[in-house]
Structure 1
Amino acid sequence: MSAADIPNKKSPLSPNQMSPKMRFLIPSPIVTRRTRTSSLSRSAADNPQKTGVIAEFCKKRGHGFITPDESPDRLFVHVSDVEGEYVPMAGDHVTYKECPIPPKRSKVQAVEVIITHLAPGTKHHRWEDPDG
């Protein structure tokens, strides 16, 4: 099945204007703030706030990972779930809530991420700063 067979309200391109690579749509496994259902949002809001440290974050790719204080397992964080004016950097201390990742909901990702302490000795950029 190709994109021409599926009505896509998000794409302003007609199937004839799409490149061959764009014609096959695979749903993204990443749950962003925009695509999260209201029930998942409520579930995350009801979870306790936790703390951790940014292990890595790439503004260009739009995601990163948090190492929780109570576990060595890293949690995925999407750019849409980061609050505040600064781009997270490795070593920043954060608070977050956990949200289950569909379809099995056996894994969780970090949402409502707030930087509480900036990593010392690191130049922090604001979201509106050009990449550099």
Structure 2
Amino acid sequence: MKKLLIASLAAMIALSGAALAQTAADMNKNLDGLFGEHQAYADFFAKLKTAVGSDDKATVAGLVSYPFSARINGKAVKIKDAKHFAADYDQVITAKVKDAVVKQKYETLFANAQGVMIGDGELWFAKAGKDVKHMTMQITAVND
């Protein structure tokens, strides 16, 4: 019985390691299954990563779903537009958030029905909009 338990645990550990070692093709398949497509998510991620990595405030601000709620100096703030987001960029895209985005690899993104998560939840993106016909890929949450 003890040998069976040890063998079962070893198999679970091996399988969990394999599940964590995803490829870009695995991520594409995951996104296709969740959202019916992957290319828009891959393209958005690449654009976001480049913009955040180079502190391109205007581009990042253009990728946000407005109005946007953020915590700035410990207070909830409603950011109404890209100009306001760019003005408060350094308080929203903190060093922790930037680090998570820059270090994130496409193949290790986490995705569920709510969207795609970067890092440990530092940033989320998904298709958003007022109605299905006008949905576009946007940043939906930033958590420091």
TM-score (norm 1): 0.22
Question: When you count helix as a share of all residues, which structure comes out higher?
Answer: 2
**Higher relative CO (CA 8 A, sep ≥ 6), structure 1 or 2?**
2
Question: When you count strand as a share of all residues, which structure comes out higher?
Answer: 1
TM-score (norm 2): 0.20
